[in-house]
């Protein structure tokens, strides 16, 4: 299916709603039946029928179909957050006594899910160096059921070889799951490389305007049905029809936005790499990245996210740098229209919390839709304090 068709038409049955170009927001919790037999029939397959919005809602279904098509997967589910999608995917495939292998330094709340939450329910875990297939292989145990990947992660950008991991998982009967948020469904297709479940937050590129929190997961029809009938309906982390319509609107410009972010980020990362006040730039599509060849092979482009290490021996100077920045916002998250800095020096000296193990001179940079030269000017003037 052509990307233009997916983003502009797929899943939208306009003849059912007056030819409206924008899909209707079917803001209802409940659906009524004209007779008993259609009521009975709705219970046979709740995912396909209109019974109750916790299960299926027509506006949400449009989004579901678009996401599955973007991933080249058979079906998908939409959640109220990316973390919700991750938790559903993982929990659905584990029970007490099982073991999960998870890559080192995943998204922070994934780390919490694996190390604290699952442990409460008797699930063991190992964190492994995902850049090394042998270390993944070596950590497989008799009770291992899930291999959890995040390629690349969103701070230090280590990759896993997705094709090799999918093959390894199949050989050992493991369910492979990936948080594929970084590259978006446009630039990396984990399901097509053999990964069982691909998860994205919509709060980043898919919605793209920093005004919705949501998440999606995609996989085979059978896997989606299994998750729907158990975790999805039980935990109830659904998106509202209104937010689903917002994400559908965001998707209209997904290709354009990602193209712009990718180009600008690569330009700014290359500029930074030559700057004397920058110790190191970590961007998977710069030849200096240790896994550059793999990144080129399995990711078409990289979007707007990368990190730099500032060259200074003083945290005070890093703080001064951030005080001088005018055109980037200081914030978590990414994937919207606006460029952001996430300074790791902010995670030092938080009352009641140990300092992060990530160096204080690391700055995660997200490049949004602004003019890249205008952003470079800002970085350049702020670098003067270093
Ligand atoms: C933001 C993010 C998440 C969590 O998504 P939410 O929608 O905020 O729950 C998970 N993984 C990655 C890589 C993220 O950047």
Distance 289 CA to ligand 1 centre (A): 23
Contact 341, 333 (CB under 8 A): no
Return d(Cα 76, Cα 245) in angstroms, integer. Answer: 16
Return d(Cα 190, Cα 218) in angstroms, integer. Answer: 10
Fold of 3-251: 3.40.640
Distance 211 CA to ligand 1 centre (A): 14
Q: Enumerate the H helices of 177-334 as residue ranges.
A: 184-187, 221-227, 233-235, 241-251, 254-273, 292-298, 315-324
Distance 44 CA to ligand 1 centre (A): 34
Instruction: Name the CA dihedral angle for 52, 211, 72, 263, rounded to a multiple of 10 degrees.
Output: 180
Distance 15 CA to ligand 1 centre (A): 36
Give the position of tokens 């929990």.
91
Per-residue pLDDT of the chain (386 residues; tens, 9 = 90+): 999 999 999 999 999 999 999 999 999 999 999 999 999 999 999 999 999 999 999 999 999 999 999 999 999 999 999 999 999 999 999 999 999 999 999 999 999 999 999 999 999 999 999 999 999 999 999 999 999 999 999 999 999 999 999 999 999 999 999 999 999 999 999 999 999 999 999 999 999 999 999 999 999 999 999 999 999 999 999 999 999 999 999 999 999 999 999 999 999 999 999 999 999 999 999 999 999 999 999 999 999 999 999 999 999 999 999 999 999 999 999 999 999 999 999 999 999 999 999 999 999 999 999 999 999 999 999 999 99
Q: Which of 179, 206, 304, 331 to mutate to test the pocket of ligand 1 (most atoms within 8 A of CB)?
A: 179
Domain ranges of the chain: 3-251, 254-383
Tokens found for residue 378: 């800002």
Distance 131 CA to ligand 1 centre (A): 21
Fold of 254-383: 3.90.1150
Question: What one-character-per-residue DSSP string does 81-108 give?
Answer: SHHHHHHHHHHTT--TT-EEEEESS--H
Instruction: Name the CA dihedral angle for 48, 50, 52, 53, rounded to a multiple of 10 degrees.
Output: 80
Q: Which of 89, 181, 182 to mutate to test the pocket of ligand 1 (most atoms within 8 A of CB)?
A: 181
Here the contacts of 292-296 (C-beta below 8 Å, separation 24 or greater) are: 294/159, 294/161, 295/152, 295/159
- Nearest protein CA to atom 8 of ligand 1, as residue: 82
Pocket of ligand 1 (CB under 6 A): 81-83, 107, 154, 179, 181, 201, 203-204, 213, 215
Q: Which of 89, 107, 157, 190 to mutate to test the pocket of ligand 1 (most atoms within 8 A of CB)?
A: 107
Distance 385 CA to ligand 1 centre (A): 33
Here the contacts of 258-262 (C-beta below 8 Å, separation 24 or greater) are: 258/184, 258/186, 258/187, 258/205, 258/301, 258/303, 259/301, 260/369, 261/205, 261/303, 261/304, 261/367, 261/368, 261/369, 262/187, 262/301, 262/302, 262/303, 262/304
Give the position of tokens 């085979």.
220
């Amino acid at each position: 299916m052509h990307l233009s068709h997916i983003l502009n038409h797929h899943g939208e049955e306009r003849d059912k709603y007056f030819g409206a170009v924008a899909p209707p927001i079917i803001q209802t919790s409940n659906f009524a039946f004209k007779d008993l037999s259609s009521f009975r029939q709705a219970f046979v397959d709740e995912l396909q029928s209109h019974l109750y919005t916790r299960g299926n809602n027509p506006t949400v279904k449009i989004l579901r179909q678009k996401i599955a098509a973007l991933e080249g997967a058979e079906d998908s589910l939409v959640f109220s957050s990316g973390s919700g999608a991750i938790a559903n995917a993982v929990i659905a495939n584990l029970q007490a006594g099982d073991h999960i292998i998870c890559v080192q330094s995943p998204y922070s709340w994934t780390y919490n899910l694996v190390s604290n939450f699952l442990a409460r329910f008797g699930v063991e875990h190992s964190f492994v160096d995902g850049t090394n297939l042998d270390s993944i292989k070596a950590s497989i145990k008799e009770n291992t059921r899930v291999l959890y990947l995040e390629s690349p992660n969103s701070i230090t950008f280590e990759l896993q070889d997705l094709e090799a991991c999918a093959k390894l998982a199949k050989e050992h009967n493991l369910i492979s799951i990936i948080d594929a948020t970084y590259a978006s469904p446009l630039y990396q297709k984990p399901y097509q490389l053999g990964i069982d479940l691909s998860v994205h937050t919509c709060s980043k590129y898919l919605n793209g305007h920093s005004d919705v929190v949501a998440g999606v997961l995609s996989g085979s029809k059978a896997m989606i049905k299994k998750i729907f009938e158990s975790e999805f309906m039980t935990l109830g982390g659904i998106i509202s029809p209104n937010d689903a319509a917002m994400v559908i609107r965001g998707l209209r410009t997904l290709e354009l936005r990602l193209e712009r972010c990718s180009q600008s980020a690569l330009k700014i990362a290359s500029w930074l790499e030559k700057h004397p006040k920058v110790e190191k730039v970590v961007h998977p599509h710069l030849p200096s990245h240790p896994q550059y060849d793999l990144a080129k092979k399995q990711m078409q482009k990289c979007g707007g996210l990368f990190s730099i290490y500032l060259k200074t021996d003083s945290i005070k100077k890093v703080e001064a740098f951030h005080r001088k920045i005018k055109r980037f916002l200081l914030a978590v998250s990414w994937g919207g229209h606006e460029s952001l800095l996430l300074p790791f020096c902010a995670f030092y000296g938080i009352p009641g919390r140990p300092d992060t193990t990530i160096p204080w001179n690391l700055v995660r940079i997200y490049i949004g839709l602004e003019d890249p030269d205008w952003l470079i000017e800002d970085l350049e003037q702020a670098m003067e304090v270093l």
